[in-house]
Structure 1
Amino acid sequence: MKETKKGIIAGFLAYILWGIIPMYWKLLPTVGALDILAYRVIWSFVFMLIYILVTKKTSDFLNECKQLWQDKKKLGTIILAAIFISVNWFTFIYTVNQGRVTEASLGYYMNPLVNVLLATLVLKEPLGSLGKIACGFAFIGVILLTIQTGTIPVSSLVMAFSFSIYGLIKKGLSLSSYTGLTIETLVILPAALIYLVGFSPAGFMTYQGSTNLLLMGAGVVTAIPLLLFAESAKRISYIILGFIQYVNPTMMLLLAIFVFNEPYTSEQFFAFSFIWVGIGLFTYATLHTWRKEIQFENHKLILDETKDKEK
């Protein structure tokens, strides 16, 4: 129970930090989205190196790196993961700094449903009738938003699919969270440095002191939620984590409406409602499956105990 409590707290902290992170990027209005991404990669890598040294995980990290280097397929997979998470980060930063936090929240509301869709298409996992209806409601919501705005919510779709594909790739990697994040940022690091030094209109670290500090802090605000999430995932079931994950887009949506004063019409609310219904159906179906699994395990345990007594 103590470990479960720690996991729930860590999960809430991770998703709360992800929920308020738009406020951080809003503090950098003079820095382009691509520049922020490059600094985010660089300082995340530096922070992870410091974290590994301070927590005395150097030996384990080097061993995992050696195993990764020897397994070229695994190495190629983590390079692919690094590309997809970079696409996700850039799209999120760009969308937030364009004043479209509502659209960013939509992407993360859609994320669990996209996870289900990809699991069905790629992993060939069966999708129940409620799951199909849930995806159908989400699809209707996206269509309604497209009709209202006259444009497809590309940023939301890119964020949802890039993060889901990233998660799908990571599912097959047996790496510690700190090694995974360090290697992923290392993969993108050369491109980030080349861009900042050779192509960025602003150059490398040419901003005022406070802006430079905020850019350095981008590594911290990136790594800490990911590490908290990893610790949470170890201690609690994916079902519980699935409930907690809606803290993130809900906080973003509230920030968009009440802090950033983004327009939120009744038509948008109506379209979002379809997505929320889809999420509700998906959550109910997941919870129902989880309960059945627990009942089956309990029944199996009772049968085993009965057999032991008979012996």
Structure 2
Amino acid sequence: MSPLRLGYLYGIGAYLLWGFFPLYLRALRPAGPLEILAHRIVWSVLFVALLLAALRNVGFLRRLARRPRALAGIAVAAALIAVNWGTYIYGVNSARVVETALGYFITPLVSVLLGVTVLRERLRPGQWLALGIGTAAVAVLTVDYGHLPWLALVLAVSFAAYGLVKKRLGLPAAEGLFVESAVLALPALGYLGWLAAAGGLAFGHVSAGHTALLVLAGAATATPLLLFAGAANRLSLTALGMLQYLAPILQLGCGVLIFHEPMPPARLAGFALVWLALLAFTADALRHSRRSRRARRPGAARPLAPSPVGQGTTAP
């Protein structure tokens, strides 16, 4: 099988798993969002530690210990992904799957906005158009909800910021996930201990199947990330950018078709504006990618346009 085809298979597999993740999280009830988050952290550490041990790739810890700035960046990334995971779990288990899908639809637009505000990057006209339409979409959805769609905005901002920090750290997927989860492991274990002492722990008190699903939270977290890493090593950013919309589309389908969440006309109009913004964003990325390929050909003039802002990924 060619590397390109394998990359697409890895990418589709990752986004399919992320797209149907709401079904898995719903099966973890009656455990509360914080307990689910704590289990996700603890079992991720154990799962990835076993994986790294099997691959005999533990030497990176010694190298990382000599990089204090990298350790500080990992702590920031860990805090951001904890906020993202916790918000997502809360949204799914409080019947707001549609709003969580909105958050991951607008994540690429927030990534572009961070590129402007944090990295001082210049945007192309097509990217400004996408941001303008995205802002209008948030305004329409604010009127529909009666308040800012704060859950979607927290998801988008936390994951876009996480992607920015991860881009600067440059850690491989498995190693990065292990260290980030290890940073959060002690607070997670402390919370589970407190919950057990208070008599509110669901783990081990519902059914054997429920307990097994909580234990598998580590594998459910790590597997799509590892698949995504395999896709990222074989596909262009443009191809990954196209694939990333698969997950929120499936999440939206879960919310509307399986969980029967409402989709009134005003909300549908807001989503239509989001999709229009993403269409403008994607068309601009494809056009810029074609120009860049032509400019790299021998004898071609170098483009004067600014470099593209990095595209976000979707990883609930």
Q: Tell me which interval the TM-score lies in, with the shorter structure as reference length.
A: over 0.9
> What's the counterpart of residue 105 of structure 1?
101
Cα offset, 1:301, TM superposition: 7.3
> What's the counterpart of residue 72 of structure 2?
76
1:41 and 1:219 in contact (8 A); partners too = yes
The one-letter code sitting in structure 2 at the alignment partner of 1:295 is: R
> What's the counterpart of residue 205 of structure 1?
203
- RMSD value, Cα: 1.6
Cα offset, 1:193, TM superposition: 0.3
Cα offset, 1:192, TM superposition: 0.2
Secondary structure in structure 1 of the residue aligned to 2:92: helix
Q: Is residue 86 from structure 1 mapped to residue 82 from structure 2 by the alignment? A: yes
Cα offset, 1:299, TM superposition: 4.2
CA distance in structure 2 between the partners assigned to 1:187 and 1:162 by the alignment = 17
1:45 and 1:219 in contact (8 A); partners too = yes
CA distance in structure 2 between the partners assigned to 1:43 and 1:190 by the alignment = 12
TM-score between the two structures when normalised by the length of structure 1: 0.93
The one-letter code sitting in structure 1 at the alignment partner of 2:37 is: L
Indicate which of 108, 112, 115 corresponds to 2:111. Answer: 115
> What's the counterpart of residue 275 of structure 1?
274
Cα offset, 1:80, TM superposition: 0.6
Q: Is residue 266 from structure 1 mapped to residue 262 from structure 2 by the alignment? A: no
The count of residues paired between Structure 1 and Structure 2 equals 299
* Greater C-alpha radius of gyration: 1
CA distance in structure 2 between the partners assigned to 1:156 and 1:173 by the alignment = 26
The one-letter code sitting in structure 2 at the alignment partner of 1:197 is: G
Cα offset, 1:170, TM superposition: 0.5
Q: Which sits farther off after the overlay, 236-245 or 145-154?
A: 145-154
Secondary structure in structure 2 of the residue aligned to 1:31: coil
> What's the counterpart of residue 14 of structure 2?
14
> What's the counterpart of residue 57 of structure 1?
56
Secondary structure in structure 2 of the residue aligned to 1:172: helix
Cα offset, 1:204, TM superposition: 7.5
CA distance in structure 1 between the partners assigned to 2:61 and 2:299 by the alignment = 41
Higher helix share: 1
The one-letter code sitting in structure 2 at the alignment partner of 1:35 is: E
> What's the counterpart of residue 305 of structure 1?
none
Cα offset, 1:29, TM superposition: 2.1
CA distance in structure 1 between the partners assigned to 2:274 and 2:78 by the alignment = 29
2:31 and 2:201 in contact (8 A); partners too = no
Q: Is residue 5 from structure 1 mapped to residue 44 from structure 2 by the alignment? A: no
Secondary structure in structure 1 of the residue aligned to 2:231: helix
* CA deviation map 1:149-186 (0-9, x unaligned): 11111110000010010000000113222111100100
Q: Which sits farther off after the overlay, 215-224 or 203-212?
A: 203-212
1:68 and 1:75 in contact (8 A); partners too = yes
> What's the counterpart of residue 37 of structure 2?
37
The one-letter code sitting in structure 2 at the alignment partner of 1:244 is: L
Secondary structure in structure 2 of the residue aligned to 1:235: coil
1:95 and 1:104 in contact (8 A); partners too = yes
Secondary structure in structure 1 of the residue aligned to 2:137: helix
Structure 1: which 5+ residue stretches go unaligned?
303-311
1:145 and 1:152 in contact (8 A); partners too = yes
Indicate which of 151, 154, 166 corresponds to 1:170. Answer: 166
CA distance in structure 2 between the partners assigned to 1:300 and 1:218 by the alignment = 52
Cα offset, 1:37, TM superposition: 0.1
* CA deviation map 1:212-269 (0-9, x unaligned): 1110111111000000111111111111000000000000111111111111111111
1:196 and 1:204 in contact (8 A); partners too = no
CA distance in structure 1 between the partners assigned to 2:228 and 2:4 by the alignment = 13
TM-score between the two structures when normalised by the length of structure 2: 0.91
Q: Percent identity?
A: 36
> What's the counterpart of residue 255 of structure 1?
254
Structure 2: which 5+ residue stretches go unaligned?
302-316
> What's the counterpart of residue 219 of structure 2?
220
Cα offset, 1:211, TM superposition: 1.4
2:31 and 2:203 in contact (8 A); partners too = no
